Structure 1
């Protein structure tokens, strides 16, 4: 068996996934980089991981398709003989608020669920025997949407709520061999949000985040990746945790707490 640990990261061509792949590569992991559409970005992610000293695999695949999930895992095991960490990062949404519910047809709802929730489960199912053998871990990239009931659209919020519940279930079901946790970011300064909101819309949401949250800032992809890497390489007694990375959004609007000067 290969001595270097192995991480399989879905949706790792861009954003949080790419940042996580690079951080793990720098920590001595070999990484499988997965993408569905952004081939050029995924190739750049792979090149950065290669430069950091990792052995890498780059594979296109749609996690909504069980056969693709199994192919990703099979490829990692064939190459390296192990899987130590699974990061379920692949995700999609539609940016449709309450004023536009009529455009949310069943196909849109089901497609978002298929990628965000079903895809995460299918990846876990395919990886589970190898993760158990390696005493490994899973990190699901969820969202404050699933915890606070706010976000880009109803199907996205519901799908991330499903990911959160599934994280708790899997933490019990895969114990004691495998730890299962989730990170729940708020706004991230990534292309994903800019593409969904448009540049002007993103800047408005970013400004609101900076004005209203306790820490007054949005997360960068690297901020989220650091938490994921800590859950993988640290947090040895943590499982079943939903880690909020929202700059204090869940605390409510920033305010002065009364007290003595």
Structure 2
């Protein structure tokens, strides 16, 4: 059986750390010919992602850019252009804002919402638009957007973040219609992921992790590699008849009311 990404040209936004890195490295491990690695600010981490991709035998290209800026999305597409096509685009770049739950109506501003939507929703749209012509040359093109279970439950790092992911899920439905029949698009909606983002929480990190393990049906705290497997499935030919779907990968957290 041939590797799922044999000879594929893959683009991953937000690929310097976490899920983006896991997707980029996973695609290389599954036979990708080339992986375009986008980052916004963490160049050293992006270089490490590229190193891991090269170790697995794929060519790596690094491109800096903020997907909230249309010109940067065009630059990401241009980085893939020498390969002649894009077979799988992973729109993984995203952001949140700090206010958690209590008193969000007072702490969140309209600018907070606009900033989060600029990356999570508009950034995904602009990336898809910029890469469309290269995806249409593929013959097996797939897009996978990184959503969140927060877009389904409304229980996320902030109201603005949850709302942006719900908007993303709806946009995937619209894009599935607009991009068919040449391009498939789906989203993956993780729950908690044990990433470096949670290191910022200091002593609260372990408490949150243990709480997640207790509340999920599968009694686990997912890693980026766990979720990358799901994203890579959606981007592969194994999912060739799946489009317009949001696949929740939260270890059953939603089912427990978490």
| TM bucket normalised to smaller | over 0.9
Secondary structure of the equivalent of 2:102?
helix
Taking only aligned residues, the RMSD between alpha carbons, in angstroms, comes to 1.5
Residue 185 of structure 2 is aligned to residue 220 of structure 1 = no
SS of residue in 1 equivalent to 2:192: coil
Residues 193, 224 of structure 2: 8 Å contact kept: yes
Residue number in structure 2 paired with 1:71: 75
Q: Is the 8 A contact 2:101 2:157 kept in 1?
A: no
Cα separation, 2, equivalents of 1:99 and 1:227: 32
In the alignment, which residue of structure 1 is the partner of 2:185?
180
In the alignment, which residue of structure 1 is the partner of 2:3? none
- Give the equivalent residue in structure 2 for 1:258: none
Q: Is the 8 A contact 1:139 1:181 kept in 2?
A: yes
Q: Structure 2-normalised TM-score?
A: 0.93
> For residues 63-102 of structure 1, what are the structure 2 equivalents within 5 Å?
63-77=67-81, 79-101=82-104, 102=106
CA distance in 2, matches of 1:98, 1:14: 26
* Contact map agreement 1:117 1:160 (CA 8 A) in 2: yes
Residue number in structure 2 paired with 1:257? none
Structure ID, larger Rg: 1
What SS does the aligned partner of 1:209 have?
Answer: helix
Q: Which moved more, 1:106-115 or 1:138-147?
A: 106-115
Residue 25 (structure 1) aligns with: 28
Match of 2:211 among 208, 211, 218: 208
> How many residues are paired up?
249
2:176 to 167, 171, 177: 171
Q: State the distance in 2 between where 1:147 and 1:194 align.
A: 25
Residue ranges of structure 1 left out of the alignment (5+ in a row): 255-261
Q: Is 1:9–2:22 an aligned residue pair?
A: no
- Counterpart CA distance in 1 for 2:239 and 2:101 is 38
Report the TM-score, using the length of structure 1 for normalisation. 0.92
Moved over 3 A (4+): none
Distance 1:220 1:228 in 2: 13
Post-superposition CA distance 1:132-165 (Å, at most 9, x none): 2213000000000101111000110111011100
| Distance in 1 (alpha carbons) for counterparts of 2:170 and 2:202 | 33
State the alpha-carbon separation in 2 of the partners of residues 201 and 164 from structure 1. 30
**1:128 pairs with one of 125, 132, 141:** 132
Instruction: Structure 2: state its 5+ residue gaps.
Output: 1-5
Q: Does 1:140 align with 2:145?
A: yes
